[in-house]
A and B are shown apart, each in its own frame.
Chain A
Amino acid sequence: MEDYLKTGGYENISRAFDLKPADIIDEVKMSGLKGRGGAGFPTAMKWSFASADPKFPKYLICNADEAEPGTFKDKVLIEKNPHLLIEGMILSAYALKAEYGYIYLRGEYYNAKEILEKAIKEAYENNFLGDDILKSNIKFHISLYVGAGAYICGEETALLDSIEGKRGQPRSKPPFPVNVGAWGMPTIVNNVETLANIPHIMRVGGKVYSEIGNPESPGPKLYSVSGCVRKPGLYELDMGVTLREIIYDYAGGTSNGRYLKAVIPGGVSAPVLPGDKIDCIMDYTSLSKAGSMLGSAAVIAMDDSVCMVKVALRIMKFFEHESCGKCTPCREGTVWLRKILERIEQGNGRKEDMNLLSEISMNISGKSFCALGDGAAGALLGMLRHFRDEFEEHIEEENCKFES
């Protein structure tokens, strides 16, 4: 707490409270901030939809369910600087006229839980939270809601069902959460990193912020880097940075100088890129041009010791395990794909399997109820696109030549 206050923490609050809520939304609009949860949706736009809705109360929910494999940015952010998030939520809540905020924290983040609980307590003690924040008779409360182990609950509508005590299955949209969200009321769901950007924007102003890094999507971005690199870790960089720079200039290249075979740029839901196609800029548009997506900006590097079929299989196991089971294509399709991949990896593949794999993926892609299914299909299609020969080899030689 002390440290945070020393560095000017919470100073924004009193300043912000002098502004009209709408002014804050304008600042954020000017900043050009895009959501950091994966979809990259302009934050200010989501906010203005919510504040346009006449219904009250409104709820602000911080999505801290971070479960996209390869991703650990929200966890580190919370563990290192919980008050930044809390201040971000206070400012956002004021802008949105929300009096209650909830942090949906991933159940496995035990350490982050303790740190957040402590930080929230401190914030109350210092009257940054409560019924009358800093005697401004502005009210805002934050409670921590701990998830119980379901990746799908990161999807905002599934998160809403989960916080309402139900099975976390996505809701059909429309209506959107900004109009009919938690307990039927207008609800804004934002990612941890998104909210943590708000204090910064309020400090330097939207204009200045918008000039940071990449005009297309400005602001600093957290990249989780893992896999076969020398210096795995969390890096805060401008969104102008390229994938190659991240891997070689920051993460120090492959661990033992081996050949970089493949990179997943945005968590396992993002289609893989071959090791020689990594000069694209790490923002939303450039990556989709490159046939992948920024997703959660989790970079997983794989060198030539790694079997792509095995990776594909492991990814499919993940989606199979996490599919909520609501919609047909994702529920049945992930099971089917996993079974085929398992056979191929064990050396029992059949020639027809190659087409079958891509046809099944195509039948899931765009047909599933939410983006989990799309992620599963996209990940496999990416593998098939760039590493087809490796799959065919498994089938022809009826085994996996990589030692596991």
Chain B
Amino acid sequence: MFNDGILKEIEEIRDKYPDRKSALIPSLYIAQREYGWLSNEALRLVADNLNLPEATVRATASFYSLFKNKPTGRHLIQLCTNVSCMILGSEKLKDFLGSKYGLEPGGTTADGRFSLLIVECIGACDGAPSMLVNEDSYDELTEQNIDVILGKYR
């Protein structure tokens, strides 16, 4: 069950929109923040709270790539491989993460420390190749500085 703090948070979001359904995506974010990913239980909570049908809630969640339908590691790496990053070598970095950290796209390290997602352009092309670790963005990546960067995430 959502605690009162969260219920209040969602209530406030609701008030910003003419229709309660508009609070769905924000609520899904909150549920993901609380539970790490959107299990069916989490989706059910959101549905009950907004009095929306469960299947509709799941349908919406499944449309958006930032909503996770399975647990991820402690830190999420989103590596861009779109054109600007690709032509400046992001795919080599992908392989590097594979060989060095045993990170396959969509996978998680054995120790649950990192998960890797290959993503579309993250709007950092001027610093390509680029990635996001959790909510921090890193540019001009090389095999060397990736090591240093990831070192900061335990």
Contact = CB atoms under 8 A, between A and B. Distances in A.
State if A and B touch, Cβ cutoff 8 Å. yes
Interface of A: 66-72, 75, 106-111, 143, 145-151, 162-168, 183, 224-228, 232-234, 264, 268, 298, 300, 302, 305-306, 310-311, 314-315, 318, 321-322, 324, 404
Interface string B120-150: 1111111110001001110000000000000
B60 interface: yes
8 contacts: A70-B125, A108-B66, A149-B65, A150-B65, A165-B19, A226-B125, A226-B126, A302-B87
Contact of B121 (A71, A145, A183, A305): A71
A108 B66 CA distance: 8
B83 A321 contact: no
B126 A232 contact: yes
Given A165-B23, A167-B59, A300-B125, A148 B28 contact: yes
Given A232-B126, A321-B120, 18 more contacts: A66-B123, A69-B84, A70-B125, A71-B123, A108-B66, A108-B122, A145-B25, A146-B29, A150-B65, A162-B25, A165-B25, A165-B52, A227-B87, A227-B128, A314-B82, A318-B82, A318-B121, A321-B65
A300 B91 contact: no
B123 A165 contact: no
B24 interface: yes
Nearest to B87: A306
Interface of B: 16-19, 21-26, 28-29, 52, 59-60, 63-67, 78, 81-84, 86-88, 91, 119-128, 132, 135-137
Instruction: Tell which of A146, A226, A322 has the most Cβ of chain B within 10 Å.
Output: A226
B139 to A, nearest CB: 10
A72 B64 CA distance: 21
B125 A232 contact: yes
Contacts of B23: 165
